[in-house]
Structure 1
Amino acid sequence: MDIFTVRAGIASAAKAVAMPNGIAKLTSTPYLPDAPTTPHFFVGDYSVDFDKTMRRGLDEIEFTCGVVVSRSDDLSGQKLLDRLLSGSGPASLKVAIEAARGAPGEAALDGAADDLRVTRVQSYRLYEIAGVDYLGAQLTIRVIGDGST
């Protein structure tokens, strides 16, 4: 798997969320931006388990992604973040990202990986990015794919 191609595919898939009326469209990048435009999803750090099967047949990558929203109004920011972190619904990042799995038997992320799954939400708190505080959380995404490419 080409890691940056996978990161870009995840970021692209996240953009499919349907934001509530009156809320700006979700911006998304395959990296942590210097100054995000909120609401913003980004693909952050990752760990790789090589050789899950013999002869470079399968690698597993665990991405720690982030989503941040504005703190201009504490309650509305938390409501929006809760919608983005929900396991279902039109604003669910889990639903949007897992839609990029493809149909049964198809590769995920337009062929960049074999499969992916959003497995966890954690670290719901304030994050400082370039001196600005944002409300945010982390999502863990597991991706599997051919280790020889």
Structure 2
Amino acid sequence: MQLAEIREAFADAARGVVLPSGVGHLTCSGYTPDSVIAPHFFTGEYDLDFDKAMGRALDEVELTCRVLVGRSDDATAQRILDALLSGAGPASLKQAIEAARGAPGEPALGGLCDDFHIRRIQGYRWYEHQGTQYVGAELIIHIFGDGRS
């Protein structure tokens, strides 16, 4: 698996969300950016387990992604974040990202990995990024793929 390509593919998939009217659009990065234009989704750090099957046939990755929302109004920011973290709906990151899994039996992300799923949401709290406070949360994505590629 080529993690740089996978991270970019998740950012591309996240761009599919539709935020409520008047909010603007979600900006997305396949890397941890120096600064963000909120609301912003980005892929962050990951843990990689090699050799889960013989012959390098399977690696597993746990990728931490973050979504940050500006806090000009605390309640509004949290409503926007809640919409992004919901399990379904036009603003759902889960729904937008998991749409990139492909059809049953097909490799996910256009062949970049065998499969993935969003394991959990965690860390719903205030984040500081480059000196600015945001309300945000982490999405943990579990990824499976061939270690030989």
The TM-score by the shorter chain falls in which range?
A: over 0.9
Q: Give the CA deviation at 1:52.
A: 1.2
Aligned to 2:10: 10
Aligned to 1:90: 90
> TM-score when scaled to structure 1?
0.98
Matched, 1:28 2:36: no
Q: Give the CA deviation at 1:110.
A: 1.4
1: CA distance, partners of 2:144 / 2:58: 7
Q: Give the CA deviation at 1:97.
A: 0.5
Aligned to 1:106: 106
1: CA distance, partners of 2:127 / 2:23: 20
2: CA distance, partners of 1:21 / 1:114: 36
Q: Which runs of 5+ in 2 are unaligned?
A: none
Tell me the secondary structure at the aligned position of residue 55 of structure 1: helix
Tell me the secondary structure at the aligned position of residue 105 of structure 2: coil
2: CA distance, partners of 1:58 / 1:70: 39
Aligned to 2:39: 39
Q: Percent identity?
A: 54
Tell me the secondary structure at the aligned position of residue 91 of structure 1: coil
2: CA distance, partners of 1:53 / 1:115: 15
Aligned to 1:75: 75
Q: Give the CA deviation at 1:24.
A: 1.0
Tell me the secondary structure at the aligned position of residue 38 of structure 1: coil
Matched, 1:121 2:146: no
Show CA shifts across 1:77-110 (max 9, x none): 0000000011111111011110000001211111
* Aligned AA (2:134): Y
Query: How many equivalent residue pairs?
Result: 149
> TM-score when scaled to structure 2?
0.98
* Aligned AA (1:46): Y
2: CA distance, partners of 1:140 / 1:18: 21
* Aligned AA (1:26): L
Q: Give the CA deviation at 1:120.
A: 0.4
Give me the CA root mean square deviation: 0.7
* Aligned AA (2:97): I
* Aligned AA (1:142): H
* Aligned AA (1:117): H
Aligned to 1:52: 52
* Aligned AA (1:16): G
Runs of 4+ in 1 over 4 A off after TM superposition: none
